[in-house]
């Protein structure tokens, strides 16, 4: 198989055996980019020279007899809302079109410490607000399985890159499903870790109490390796969880015997494609056949997750995005008479429609007279949703659910109707409200499009997710299928 | 005027002198080249996160306890939103409904000697904003922003509306400053902005227990401004009410030059700050043991010290007040008393000659080259007769100027008192011979003449003669 389609752990083995060099891997990925990027359009920024230099440094170290870290020499795509020192970080917004961070996000520092090779910054919905990557201020990313369809979002560029072979691994961020939903639609593994497991320092905030960075990879071994690299306490993030480092690869065992897995009734009863429902049931059967115990469970407040999410996330966003005023960095609307006009004009021109919609929603929810009825009530609902999960986890180790109601939808299908778009995340956002870890993995295909299944775990039980996901992938080969991407043209 | 009384509450902001800012590692040093004490966090760059400086909490607890407040076991930080270029995130991290501490009081004295108690509603922590520098040039006026001050820790101390006059407001503020300086957490320099004060004031008919409509006065940059602005504003409001008008709820600014308050904005234009809990910061849990440790480490506060100076040292209320007004002065005084246990004498020197020298040279007592040990040594030299009290004043000046020890000054300048009768006898003889008139006067019973003769001997010896000995020698000769 082509180098660019191998998972990181296999590339690592080839590197260590000197069967391939890091520069060769890097070149293979850039050749792949040259062939398919015009079709997929995953990247906002590519750093070919920097990447090749970093790869060459890995080769030098290898020649000098150094031990290679598991991710050394592995080409990475980083979502463009994660700060990279010296490399423009736009959040796919006009507002930050020229913002070059003077510092690296903690996760970038940690990947750099392993000598992973950052190759570029991936496209996304502006400020991570969206589920299709169509809300990028620059261009839409396309689904490698069908370029007329969306890759999901907001981490659509990262998921599409891993699926298309234009990155080996990628980082995304997940506020209401932004890693899992595009991973599902692109047929890759995308994990949202427990809130607090991965430092948010350097992640441009959308909704601080929900945001979490996580890996997008081809299989669970890579997922564990990336998680090993990026997780762990960071003193620069007050919400970062304390605790000793965990070796997540130790959970990669092909065995789910005795694991109790709940199937949340509310996620399977309504509002999803019959084919997706079937795939979830088949996945349940696979795990059951391997010795897991499956049973239905109820999460009674599920219906309130979406409305609560669309109060809490915009409320925090309206605050987090207040800093973009044209005064210190980023876009500034020129030739204004005073600072108030400048701030207004800058925000009017610098933000896209979806971002402005959410800022207005959130501003409203926090306003005097509405705070109690909206924001505070949403916080109460959040507590109820967390309790639903706590109760479920008294009986179960894991929950199995669909990731999305349907496979990838056509480009333009939902852009006119925000509510339709928001419903793409209906199965993912409760997990963010509860702060839980969850992972989407390829569960099957419908009409040639990948369908994701979602495993949800207890807080800090990423290991259990890895164990179940790894076992599932030992018994299935959905994750080994590659999109039918030539280097060829796309119908528009 | 007499038919009305004023109701005043003060909101005081105090900058804490921690080494680094409240949510990052940048320096809090005052001054400095613009935008050099900054980092990605206090500049609010995308992706950065605040991390609470625990020293700020410690200092906050200290002040809260000094103001007799309850310290919350659990508090949190909230975001206060408003767009202004000196606020890099366009929100300020502050504390809204669960502040660090609440329900305290401060006793203070007005000039008439009466003691008043003012309630403290709350003391909370927040971050400071930057500074705008307005300039003219190019196409017109423009503003530059200096973010050095952004993120410097502040305590906001909100008083109850318990103050009844402009003078009392000043006295409260003065006592508050002294108390905070005692805790050592702030310089409280109004001129550098490390202590800032906004005043809320309303008037009502005397005897009424209903609050009138208040105005808020800003831009009060000195104790005097607080008093003058309140005097003006109280008179203005009374005038409005007496004429049957209504006070408009608004924010007013003190115009120092014109001596008036002017309307800034009405309360209808007031911001909706959209406070909500800052999701980047975790709630702060303060353990009882932490509070108790801070309480144990709290220094003796000015009120207690004043009482002790009267009870233990027998000082007057006035002396006790002057000596305790600044912690450094009181510490100096006490160290001196420890080495020279005559409090009244030390008090006279510290409040008299030393204070005069410090004032003239514009030097703080902390930087004074005469250390407490030096002053004590000087006073011992008087007691053991080495020098006279009069000579001592000159020695103190020399010590103040050069930082030398008193013994050294006395030795170098040859100021040791002449106590040897054999040395003084010839001088006495010379003076008697040279002044036959006064000698005759004395012998005719005019005892006043003795003083003149003593003066002459002192003059001859350039003040070094022991006055008692001179007296005795003269009498001995004259009475022969």
Confidence of residue B1 (pLDDT cuts 50, 70, 90): low
Q: Tell me if residue A35 falls in helix, strand or coil.
A: helix
B395 and B468, same structural domain?
no
Q: Calculate mean pLDDT across residues A310-330.
A: 97
A77 vs B434, residue with greater confidence: A77
From A481, A382, A462, select the one nearest A191 (Cα to Cα). A462
- Beta-carbon separation of A366 and B48 below 8 A: no
Last residue of a domain, one of B243, B259, B290: B290
Cβ-nearest to A105 among B47, B88, B282: B47
How far apart, in whole angstroms, are the C-alpha atoms of residue A322 and residue A356? 11
B430 and B332, same structural domain?
no
Interface check for B145 against chain A (CB to CB < 8 A): the answer is: yes
Give pLDDT, residue B316: 93
Q: Tell me if residue A367 falls in helix, strand or coil.
A: coil
B82 and B194, same structural domain?
yes
Q: By the 8 A CB rule, do A141 and A133 touch?
A: yes
Whether A318 is catalytic: no
Does residue A262 fall inside a structural domain?
no
Q: Which domain holds residue B221?
A: 4-290
Give pLDDT, residue B140: 79
* E strand or H helix at A121: strand A117-122
CB pairs under 8 A between A and B: 93
- Beta-carbon separation of B81 and A319 below 8 A: yes
What's the pLDDT tens digit per position in A240-287?
Answer: 999 888 999 999 999 999 999 999 999 998 789 999 999 999 999 999
Confidence of residue A489 (pLDDT cuts 50, 70, 90): very low
B181 and B230, same structural domain?
yes
Q: State the distance between the two ends of chain B, measured CA to CA, in whole angstroms.
A: 76
Q: Tell me if residue A396 falls in helix, strand or coil.
A: coil
Give pLDDT, residue B268: 66
Q: Tell me if residue B23 falls in helix, strand or coil.
A: coil
Cross-strand partners of B197: B12, B220
Does residue B191 fall inside a structural domain?
yes
Confidence of residue B461 (pLDDT cuts 50, 70, 90): confident
Residues 6+ positions from B36 with CB-CB distance below 8 Å: B148
From B33, B30, B13, select the one nearest B21 (Cα to Cα). B30
Interface check for A366 against chain B (CB to CB < 8 A): the answer is: yes
- Beta-carbon separation of B276 and A319 below 8 A: yes
Last residue of a domain, one of B412, B446, B470: B412
How far apart, in whole angstroms, are the C-alpha atoms of residue B179 and residue B63? 8
How far apart, in whole angstroms, are the C-alpha atoms of residue A148 and residue B351? 88
Chain B: residue whose CA lies nearest to A104 = B47
How far apart, in whole angstroms, are the C-alpha atoms of residue B318 and residue B321? 5
Chain A: residue whose CA lies nearest to B144 = A327
Cβ-nearest to B90 among A89, A105, A323: A323
Q: At what angle do helices B467-478 and B448-460 cross, to 10 degrees?
A: 120
pLDDT over 70 (residue A491): no
| DSSP count for chain B of H helices, then E strands | 16, 16
Q: What is the CATH number of the domain that holds B451?
A: 1.10.10.410
- Beta-carbon separation of B276 and A96 below 8 A: no
Whether A178 is catalytic: yes
Does residue A250 fall inside a structural domain?
yes
How far apart, in whole angstroms, are the C-alpha atoms of residue A454 and residue A442? 9
- Beta-carbon separation of A103 and B50 below 8 A: no
Does residue B295 fall inside a structural domain?
no
Q: State the distance between the two ends of chain A, measured CA to CA, in whole angstroms.
A: 30
Interface check for A91 against chain B (CB to CB < 8 A): the answer is: yes
Q: Which domain holds residue A48?
A: 3-257+460-480
What's the pLDDT tens digit per position in A179-237?
Answer: 999 999 999 999 999 999 999 999 999 999 999 999 999 999 999 999 999 999 999 99
- Beta-carbon separation of B280 and A204 below 8 A: no
Total Cβ atoms within 10 A of residue B441: 17
Residues 6+ positions from A189 with CB-CB distance below 8 Å: A183, A215, A216, A217, A218, A219, A220, A222, A223, A439, A440, A441, A442, A469, A479
pLDDT over 90 (residue B266): no
pLDDT over 90 (residue B139): no
* E strand or H helix at B31: none
Decide the pairing of beta strands B140-146 and B153-159.
unpaired
From A284, A229, A224, select the one nearest A259 (Cα to Cα). A284
What's the pLDDT tens digit per position in B171-209?
Answer: 999 999 999 999 999 999 998 899 999 999 999 999 898
**Which of A93, A132, A173, A178 is an active site residue?**
A178
Does residue B25 fall inside a structural domain?
yes
DSSP tag of A483 = -
Q: A365 — phi, psi (to 5°)?
A: -65, -25
How far apart, in whole angstroms, are the C-alpha atoms of residue A106 and residue A119? 17
Does residue A182 fall inside a structural domain?
yes
pTM: 0.91
What's the pLDDT tens digit per position in A219-229?
Answer: 999 999 999 99
Q: Mark residue B445 as left, alpha or beta (left: phi above 0; alpha: psi -120 to 50; beta: remaining).
A: left
Interface check for A343 against chain B (CB to CB < 8 A): the answer is: yes
Total Cβ atoms within 10 A of residue B4: 18
How far apart, in whole angstroms, are the C-alpha atoms of residue A442 and residue A189? 7
Q: By the 8 A CB rule, do B32 and B147 touch?
A: no
DSSP tag of A462 = H
B286 and B159, same structural domain?
yes
What mean pLDDT value characterizes chain A?
Answer: 96
Q: By the 8 A CB rule, do B388 and B457 touch?
A: no
Question: Is residue A350 classed exposed, middle or buried when 0-12, 13-18 and 19+ CB atoms within 10 A define those classes?
Answer: buried
Interface check for A367 against chain B (CB to CB < 8 A): the answer is: yes
What's the pLDDT tens digit per position in A409-438?
Answer: 999 999 999 988 999 999 999 999 999 999
Does residue A406 fall inside a structural domain?
no
Please work out, in degrees rounded to the nearest 5, the angle formed at the alpha carbon of residue A249 by the alpha carbons of A244 and A255. Answer: 120
Q: Calculate mean pLDDT across residues B251-255.
A: 95
B345 and B203, same structural domain?
no
Q: By the 8 A CB rule, do A289 and A59 touch?
A: no
pLDDT over 60 (residue B235): yes
DSSP tag of B444 = T
Last residue of a domain, one of B412, B434, B449: B412
pLDDT over 90 (residue A122): yes
- Beta-carbon separation of B51 and A236 below 8 A: yes
Counting every residue written for chain B, the total comes to 480
Does residue B137 fall inside a structural domain?
yes
Cβ-nearest to B281 among A82, A203, A238: A238
From A333, A271, A262, A272, select the one nearest A298 (Cα to Cα). A262
B305 and B280, same structural domain?
no
- Beta-carbon separation of B83 and A343 below 8 A: yes
Q: Calculate mean pLDDT across residues A55-77.
A: 96
Does residue A153 fall inside a structural domain?
yes
How far apart, in whole angstroms, are the C-alpha atoms of residue B10 and residue B12? 6
Which of A363-367, A461-465, B299-303, B442-446 is predicted least confidently? B442-446
B51 vs B113, residue with greater confidence: B51
Total Cβ atoms within 10 A of residue A172: 34
pLDDT over 90 (residue B118): yes
Count of structural domains within chain A: 1
Does residue A164 fall inside a structural domain?
yes
Q: What is the CATH number of the domain that holds A89?
A: 3.90.1300.10
B470 and B405, same structural domain?
no
Confidence of residue A1 (pLDDT cuts 50, 70, 90): low
Q: By the 8 A CB rule, do A82 and A108 touch?
A: yes
Chain B contacts in chain A segment 456-485 (CB below 8 A): none
B443 and B326, same structural domain?
no
Q: Is the ipTM of this complex over 0.85?
A: yes
Interface check for A355 against chain B (CB to CB < 8 A): the answer is: no
Q: Give how far Cα A434 sits from Cα of A181, A263, B444, B476, Å.
A: 17, 17, 109, 103
DSSP tag of B69 = P
B209 and B148, same structural domain?
yes
Interface check for B35 against chain A (CB to CB < 8 A): the answer is: no
Whether A154 is catalytic: yes
Give chain B positions within 8 Å (CB) of A325. 83, 85, 90
Total Cβ atoms within 10 A of residue A19: 10
What's the pLDDT tens digit per position in B268-316?
Answer: 666 899 999 999 999 999 999 999 999 999 999 999 999 999 999 999 9
Count of structural domains within chain B: 3
- Beta-carbon separation of B276 and A371 below 8 A: yes
Total Cβ atoms within 10 A of residue B219: 16
Sign of the alpha-carbon dihedral angle for A162, A165, A166, A167: positive
Q: By the 8 A CB rule, do A238 and B280 touch?
A: yes
B360 and B262, same structural domain?
no
DSSP letter for each residue of B276-297: EE-TTSPPEE--HHHHHHHHHH
Q: By the 8 A CB rule, do A312 and A433 touch?
A: yes
Interface check for B285 against chain A (CB to CB < 8 A): the answer is: no
Interface check for A102 against chain B (CB to CB < 8 A): the answer is: yes
Q: In what order do the strands lie in the sheet with B260-266?
A: B70-71, B101-109, B115-127, B153-159, B4-15, B195-205, B215-220, B250-255, B260-266
Give pLDDT, residue B225: 96
Does residue B58 fall inside a structural domain?
yes
Does residue A362 fall inside a structural domain?
no
Does residue A180 fall inside a structural domain?
yes
Decide the pairing of beta strands A449-457 and A398-402.
antiparallel
- Beta-carbon separation of B48 and A316 below 8 A: no
How far apart, in whole angstroms, are the C-alpha atoms of residue A381 and residue A383? 5
Distance, in angstroms, between A361 CA and closest chain B CA?
13
Give pLDDT, residue B269: 67
B379 and B272, same structural domain?
no
């Amino acid at each position: 198989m082509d180098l660019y389609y191998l998972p990181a752990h296999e590339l690592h083995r080839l590197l260590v055996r000197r069967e391939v060099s890091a520069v060769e891997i890097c070149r293979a990925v850039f050749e792949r980019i040259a062939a398919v990027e015009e079709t997929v359009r995953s990247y906002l920024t590519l750093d070919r020279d920097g990447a090749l230099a970093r790869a060459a440094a890995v080769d030098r170290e290898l020649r000098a007899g150094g031990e290679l870290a598991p991710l050394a020499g592995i080409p990475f795509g980083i979502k463009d809302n994660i700060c990279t020192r010296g490399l423009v970080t736009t959040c796919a917004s006009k507002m930050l079109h020229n913002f070059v961070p003077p510092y690296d996000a903690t996760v970038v520092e940690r990947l750099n410490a392993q000598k992973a090779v950052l190759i570029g910054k991936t496209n996304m919905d502006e400020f991570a607000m969206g589920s299709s990557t169509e809300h990028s201020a620059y261009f839409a990313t396309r689904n490698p399985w069908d370029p007329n369809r969306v890759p999901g979002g907001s981490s659509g560029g990262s998921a599409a890159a891993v699926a298309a072979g234009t990155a080996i691994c990628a980082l995304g961020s997940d506020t209401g499903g932004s890693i899992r939903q595009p991973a599902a639609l692109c047929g890759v593994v995308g994990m949202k870790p427990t809130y607090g497991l991965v430092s948010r320092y350097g992640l441009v905030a959308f909704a601080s109490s929900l945001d979490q960075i996580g890996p997008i990879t081809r299989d669970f071994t890579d997922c564990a390796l990336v998680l090993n690299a990026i997780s762990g306490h960071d003193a620069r993030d007050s919400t970062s969880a304390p605790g000793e480092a965990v070796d997540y690869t130790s959970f990669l065992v092909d065995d789910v015997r005795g694991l109790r897995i709940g199937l949340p009734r509310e996620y399977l009863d309504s509002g999803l494609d019959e084919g997706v429902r079937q795939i979830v049931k088949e996945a349940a059967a696979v795990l059951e056949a391997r010795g897991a115990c499956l049973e239905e469970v109820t999460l009674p407040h599920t219906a309130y997750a979406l409305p609560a999410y669309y109060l809490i996330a915009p409320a925090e966003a309206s605050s987090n995005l207040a800093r973009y005023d044209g005064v210190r960095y980023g876009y500034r609307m020129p030739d204004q008479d005073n600072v108030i006009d400048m701030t207004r004009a800058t925000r009017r021109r610098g933000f896209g429609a979806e971002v402005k919609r959410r800022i207005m929603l959130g501003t409203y929810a926090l306003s005097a007279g509405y705070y109690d009825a909206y924001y505070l009530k949403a916080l109460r609902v959040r507590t109820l949703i967390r309790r639903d999960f706590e109760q479920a986890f008294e009986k179960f180790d894991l929950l199995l659910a669909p990731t999305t109601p349907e496979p990838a939808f056509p480009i333009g299908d939902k852009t006119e109707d925000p509510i339709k778009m928001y419903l793409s995340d209906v199965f993912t956002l409760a997990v963010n409200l509860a702060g839980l870890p969850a992972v989407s993995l390829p569960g099957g295909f419908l009409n040639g499009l990948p369908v994701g299944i979602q495993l949800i775990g207890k807080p800090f039980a990423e290991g259990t997710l890895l164990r179940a996901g790894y076992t599932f992938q030992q018994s299935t080969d959905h994750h080994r299928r590659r999109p039918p991407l030539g280097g060829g043209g796309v119908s528009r | 005027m007499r038919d009305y009384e004023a109701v005043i509450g003060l909101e005081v902001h105090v900058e804490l002198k921690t080494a680094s800012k409240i949510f990052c590692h940048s320096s809090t040093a005052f001054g400095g080249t613009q935008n050099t004490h900054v980092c990605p966090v206090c500049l609010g760059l995308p992706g950065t996160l605040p991390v609470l400086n625990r020293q700020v909490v410690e200092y906050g607890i200290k002040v809260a306890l000094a103001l007799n407040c309850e310290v919350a076991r659990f508090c949190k930080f909230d975001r206060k939103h408003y767009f202004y270029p000196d606020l890099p995130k366009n929100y300020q991290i502050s504390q809204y409904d669960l502040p660090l501490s609440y329900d305290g009081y401060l006793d203070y004295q007005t000039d008439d000697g009466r003691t008043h108690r003012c309630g403290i509603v709350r003391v909370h922590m927040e971050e400071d904003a930057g500074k705008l520098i307005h300039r003219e040039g190019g196409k017109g006026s423009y503003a530059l922003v200096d973010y050095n001050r952004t993120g410097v820790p502040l305590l906001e101390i909100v008083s109850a509306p318990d103050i009844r006059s402009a003078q009392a407001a000043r006295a409260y503020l003065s006592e508050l400053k002294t108390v905070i300086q005692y805790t050592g957490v702030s310089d409280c320099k109004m001129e550098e902005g490390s202590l800032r004060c906004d005043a809320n004031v309303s008037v009502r008919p005397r005897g009424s227990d209903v609050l009138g409509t208040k105005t808020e006065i800003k831009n009060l940059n000195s104790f005097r401004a607080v008093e003058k602005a309140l005097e003006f504003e109280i008179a203005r409001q009374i005038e409005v009410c007496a004429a049957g008008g209504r006070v408009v709820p608004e924010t007013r600014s003190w115009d120092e030059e014109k001596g008036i308050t002017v309307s800034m904005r009405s309360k209808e234009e007031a911001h909706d700050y959209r406070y909500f809990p800052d999701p980047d910061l975790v709630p702060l849990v303060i353990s009882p043991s932490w509070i108790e440790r801070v309480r144990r480490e709290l220094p003796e506060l000015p009120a207690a010290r004043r009482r002790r100076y009267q009870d233990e040292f027998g000082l007057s209320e006035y002396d006790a007040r002057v000596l305790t007004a600044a912690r450094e002065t009181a510490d100096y005084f006490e160290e001196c008393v420890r080495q020279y246990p005559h409090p009244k004498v030390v008090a006279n020197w510290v409040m008299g000659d030393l204070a005069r020298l410090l004032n003239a040279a514009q030097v703080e007592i902390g930087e004074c080259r005469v250390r407490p040990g030096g002053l004590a040594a000087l006073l011992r030299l008087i007691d053991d007769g080495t020098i006279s009290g009069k000579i001592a004043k000159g020695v103190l000046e020399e010590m103040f100027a050069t930082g030398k020890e008193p013994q050294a000054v006395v030795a170098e300048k040859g100021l040791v008192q002449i106590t040897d009768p054999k040395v003084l006898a010839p001088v006495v003889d010379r003076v008697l011979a040279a002044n036959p008139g006064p000698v005759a006067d004395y012998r005719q019973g005019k005892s006043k003449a003795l003083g003149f003769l003593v003066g002459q001997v002192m003059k001859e010896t350039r003040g070094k003669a022991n006055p008692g000995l001179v007296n005795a020698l003269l009498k001995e000769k004259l009475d022969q």
